[in-house]
Structure 1
C-alpha cells in the first residue's frame, strides 16, 4: 500500500512538471499580456482571486495594465479593463472572433446543453434565437404595447399591496424587504408577458411574494450560486468527477424544478391556443402577435416551422428570459432604491420632479417618462456604478486572434470588466460617488458605458428593462414618501 501512495505521488509531481514545461514552451511562441508572475500548479491564478470578482480583477488591472492574462485552472483568460480595449473587442472582425461563450460544465444541464440565447455559441441557432427575441418578443413596438397593459397593471397591483401593508402596519409605516418585493414585481410582469398568467396571493397583507415568485426565486438563487464564471468547480476536473461539494446533485435538483415550472407554463399556453382555435374555427392560427403572450408567439411560429422552433428551442428561450430578466432587473432596481434611500437629497429631487410633472392625483404611465429626465439620470448612474452583470457574460475566442497586439489563442476566455470601466477616473470625475447630475443636460454624452453589453452579444432586453425600471421607480412614491418622513 505504501508503494502505491509513493508511485501516485511521483506520478502527480511528474504530471505537474510536464504541464508546467508545456505551458512555458507554448508561452515562448506567443505574445501574451502581462499578469501575475506566480501561478499555482494546476490551480493557476485561481487562489489569487477574491470576491467580489470584479473588484479583484480591477486590482489586477491597476497593477498590470488594461489587459491582463490569467490562467484559471486549465483555462486561459484575458481580462479587459479599459474603455478603449472594450471598444476594440466589440467592433469589426474581432467582435465575431470572440462572439462564442465558454461552456462551463456547471451550466450544461441548466442551459439545455448550452442552447439558451445567452450561452449559445455564435452561429445559426443563436441567430434564430436572437431574431425571435428582438423581432417577435422584445421589439420597441411590443414593449410599448406591454407598457400600456401588462407592466402598468402589475405595477399598480404592487402599489396597492404596499398601500394595504402600510395601512395594516403600526403608525402606517410598513417594513419592506425590497429585494423580495422587487423580485415579485419583475416576476409578475414577466409571467404576464410570457404566459398571460397572474400570480396567486393569499389574503395576508404581510405576504410580500406570491407562491410562484417564491418558487422561482428559490430556483434562480440555487442555480446562480452553483454555476458560472466564479465557480471553482468548473475549473477543476477532479472536483467535478468526484462531485466533492455536491454541486452536480444540487444543480440537477434546481434545474428539474425550473423545467417543471417552465413546462407547465408552456403546456397551459398551448391549451389556450387550441381553445382559441376551436372557438375561431378549426386550424385558424391567425392571431395578432400583440394579443398573444411571448410563449403564444413562439408556439405560433412552431406551427409554421416545426423543425426550427422545436419544443427544446421554446423551452430554452422561455427559461432563459424568465431567469435572466427577472434576476438582472431585480438587482438593478434594488441597487437604485438602496442608493436613493441613502441619498435623500437625490430622492427628494426625484420626488419633486414627479410631483411637478405628474401630480399627486394619479400614478404615472409610459407617456410621463420622457418628461422625467432626472429619473433617467438616476437609472443611468445606478447602471454605471452597479451594472447587473459587472463582468458582462464571458466571451470565448473561436479562432486565434489579437487584442491590443497580444495573442489570444482559440478557446481562451475574454472577460470584460464593465464595473472597472464604468469607474475609470480618467473618464468619470469622482467615479465612486453616486451623482445622477453627471448625466443631466447631455453632460455625459460620449462617455463610455456598457451595462447591457456591446456588439453582437448585446442584451436584446434593454428596452424592456429600461421601461420596467422607469415605471417602477416612478410609482414607488409611496415608499419614497415614507422614507423622507422618517
Structure 2
C-alpha cells in the first residue's frame, strides 16, 4: 500500500513542480515578491501574528506585493489609496470572486452561499435579497419586538442577581447571541432563560457553533497544496465534511419547523426566506436558504465574540 502511494505521489509532485515553474516564467508583469520555494511558495514566511508578518514584508517589498501560498497566488495591498482603487466601480467586479478552495466548497454548499458564490446571477440575487430583505431598515423594524423582549429578560434576570456579583460581559454576549438566533431562526440558545425541555437542544447548538468556528479557523493544507489534500494530509477536509453533515441536519430541521409554525410577518429571517421561496422556488431553494442561515450565524458569531 505504501509503495503504491509513493508511486502515485512522485509523478504528481513532479507535475506540480513543472506547472509552478512554467507559470512563474510565463507571468512577468507581477508586483515585487520575496524569494519563494518550489511548491510551497511563500508559506514558509508566514508567522503569527500574520498581520505583523505581512506588514514587515511590505516595508521591504512595497505596499503592493505578490505572494504565492502553495497553488494560491495572492496580491497583498497595504496602501489605503491602492485599496480604494481596487474597489472602485471599474475594478470592483474584477475582484468580486473568492478563491474556490475545498474548504469553501464544503462550508458554503458548493459555492452557493453569500460570500462564496462567483460573480453572476446568483451572486447578484443573494446580494439583493440581503440588502433589501435581510439587512434593511424595514427588517430591523420587524425584529424590534424580539430585541426588546430579550433586553427585558436580561434586565429582569440581572435584578434578581443584585445580591451576587454579575459578569456583565457574559450577560451581554448571551444577549447578543440570543438576539441573533431569535431574529434568524426564532429560538433562544444562550443564558438561563432557555426552557428545560430545550436545554439539550441549546447545548447541542452551542457545541455545534463552537466546533464550526474552531474547524473553519483551522488551516486546511489541501486548500494550498491539493496534492497533499488528495492524500488526506492534515485531515481537516475530512473533518469538515463530517461536521457539515451535522450542521446540514440541524438547518434542515430548522427549515421544516419554521415551515410548519412560521409566518412571513413574524420578522424572523427564515420565515421571510420561506415566503420568498413560495414566490420564486427555483431561486430560493432549501440549499440556498441553509447557506444564508449558516453564513449569518457564523459571521455574527465572529462579530459578537
TM over 0.5: yes
Query: What is the Cα deviation at residue 62 of structure 1?
Result: 2.1
1:156 maps to which of 152, 167, 171: 152
Structure 1 pair 93–265 and aligned structure 2 pair: CA distance change class (3 A): same
Aligned to 1:61: 58
Pick aligned residue for 1:120 from 117, 121, 125? 117
2:242 matched to 1:242?
Answer: no
Is structure 2 residue 186 aligned with structure 1 residue 186?
no
2:26 equivalent in structure 1:
26
Cα separation, 1, equivalents of 2:200 and 2:229: 34
Look up the match of 1:45: 42
Contact 2:58–2:78 (CA under 8 A) maintained in structure 1: yes
- TM-score, normalising length from structure 1? 0.55
Deviation per CA, 1:178-214, whole angstroms, max 9, x where unpaired?
Answer: 4x6554333211221123333476589xxxxx65554
SS at match of 1:95: coil
| Corresponding residue to 2:283 among 303, 308, 311 | 308
Residue 68 (structure 2) aligned to one of 52, 66, 71: 71
1:68 and 1:181, CA in 2 relative to 1: closer, same or farther beyond 3 A?
farther
- Measured against aligned partners, the alpha-carbon deviations of 1:132-185 in whole angstroms (never above 9, x if no partner) come to 111112111221342x31123213323444444553xxxx32456x4x655433
Contact 1:155–1:185 under 8 Å retained in 2: yes
Q: Which moved more, 1:130-139 or 1:181-190?
A: 181-190
Question: 2:127 pairs with 130, 148, 157, which one?
Answer: 130
On the 8 A contact 2:13/2:227 being kept in 1, the answer is no
How many Å separate the matches in 1 of 2:279 and 2:5? 63
**Which one of the candidate residues 86, 94, 104 is aligned to 1:107?**
104
RMSD over aligned Cα atoms: 3.1
SS of 1:77 mapped into structure 2: strand
Q: Structure 1: which 5+ runs fail to align? A: 205-209, 277-286, 332-486
Question: Which runs of 4 or more aligned residues in structure 1 lie more than 6 Å from their structure 2 counterparts after TM superposition?
Answer: 3-10
Contact 2:221 2:234 in 1 (8 A): no
**Pairing of 1:320-359 with structure 2 (within 5 A):** 320-328=295-303, 330-331=304-305
Deviations 1:269-323 (A, max 9, x none): 10014xx7xxxxxxxxxx5x4x342111111111112112111111111121122
Distance 2:86 2:278 in 1: 39
How far off its partner does 1:261 sit?
A: 2.1
Structure 1 distance, partners of 2:67, 2:80, is 20
Structure 1: distance between partners of 2:271 and 2:294: 15
Is 1:318 matched with 2:293? yes
Q: What's the CA shift for 1:235? A: 0.5
| C-alpha contact 1:194 1:294 (8 A) present in aligned 2 | yes
The structure number with the bigger radius of gyration is 1
Pair 1:49–1:62, CA change in 2 (3 A): same
**Match of 1:260, SS?**
helix
Aligned partner of residue 251 in structure 2, secondary structure = helix
1:256 maps to what in 2? 245
Q: Is the alpha carbon distance of 1:192 and 1:4 closer, same or farther for their aligned partners in structure 2, counting shifts above 3 Å?
A: closer
CA contact (8 A) 1:166 1:173 kept: yes
Q: 2:274 aligns with which of 299, 313, 333?
A: 299
Structure-2-length-normalised TM-score = 0.85
Residues 365-444 of structure 1 aligned to structure 2 (within 5 Å) = none
